[in-house]
């Protein structure tokens, strides 16, 4: 999926891979905003990482991009606000939880019907904020045929309404 050099970073990274051709800028921009919101919500929902995000100089998410074999490869990691020093412990902790939440959401979330989600036991307004953010992320990823979200040995491949957990 990515080159060996890309995987040799010292800091754990969340990877998103998309087709590199004909990407609508507005959809890509929306995907990145929704991804950032979902990742930060997962971090805020964890007692271990929440204090880091409540500091005056909270960490930022940094994005790196590369194109290989007609695929746009995006990597995201937390870094210090001041000097952009990678924060591998924070990235590891947050991305492990993010992938766990995403996995649980995709395995237990409602199926899409003709008029939207079906089989919901509670209204969308009553669901946890993290679930709502993951629902938004899932909706955005559906726009990118063959989109992949990867962290560590866990991968999710999105193809319209179909998701393959690898």
Quote the mean pLDDT of the chain: 86
Give the per-residue pLDDT at 112: 55
Query: Domain limits at 102?
Result: 4-165
Number of H-type helices and E-type strands within the chain: 5, 8
Give the per-residue pLDDT at 115: 54
Give the per-residue pLDDT at 119: 52
Phi, psi dihedral angles at 78 (to 5 degrees): -80, 145
Res 120 pLDDT > 60? no
Give the per-residue pLDDT at 6: 42
Res 97 pLDDT > 90? yes
Phi, psi dihedral angles at 145 (to 5 degrees): -60, 125
Res 4 pLDDT > 50? no
Give the per-residue pLDDT at 91: 96
Token pair of 113 as six digits? 């019907």
Task: Answer whether 19's CB lies under 8 Å from 144's CB.
Answer: yes
Give the per-residue pLDDT at 19: 92
How many structural domains is the chain composed of? 1
Distance CA 111, CA 116 (A): 8
Give the per-residue pLDDT at 7: 41
Tell me the per-residue pLDDT of 25-70, one tens digit each, with 9 for 90 and over.
999 999 999 999 999 999 999 888 887 877 777 899 999 999 999 9
Question: Kindly report the CA angle at 48 between 47 and 53, in degrees rounded to 5?
Answer: 85
Res 106 pLDDT > 80? yes
Res 16 pLDDT > 70? yes
Q: How confident is the model at residue 114 (pLDDT cuts 50, 70, 90)?
A: low
Res 15 pLDDT > 80? yes
Give the per-residue pLDDT at 17: 97
């Amino acid at each position: 999926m990515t080159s060996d050099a890309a995987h040799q970073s010292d800091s754990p990274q969340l990877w998103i891979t998309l087709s590199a051709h004909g990407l609508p800028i507005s959809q890509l921009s929306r995907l990145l905003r929704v991804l950032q919101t979902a990742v930060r919500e997962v971090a805020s929902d964890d007692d271990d990482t929440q204090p880091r995000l409540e500091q005056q100089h909270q960490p930022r998410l940094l994005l790196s991009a590369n194109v290989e074999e007609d695929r746009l490869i995006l990597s995201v990691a937390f870094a210090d606000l001041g000097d952009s020093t990678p924060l591998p412990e924070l990235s590891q902790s947050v991305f492990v939880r993010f992938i766990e939440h995403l996995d649980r959401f995709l395995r237990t979330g409602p199926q899409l019907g003709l008029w939207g989600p079906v089989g919901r036991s509670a209204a969308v307004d009553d669901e946890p904020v993290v679930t709502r953010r993951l629902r938004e992320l899932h909706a955005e990823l559906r726009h990118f045929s063959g989109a992949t979200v990867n962290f560590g040995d866990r991968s999710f491949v999105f193809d319209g309404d179909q998701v393959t957990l690898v």
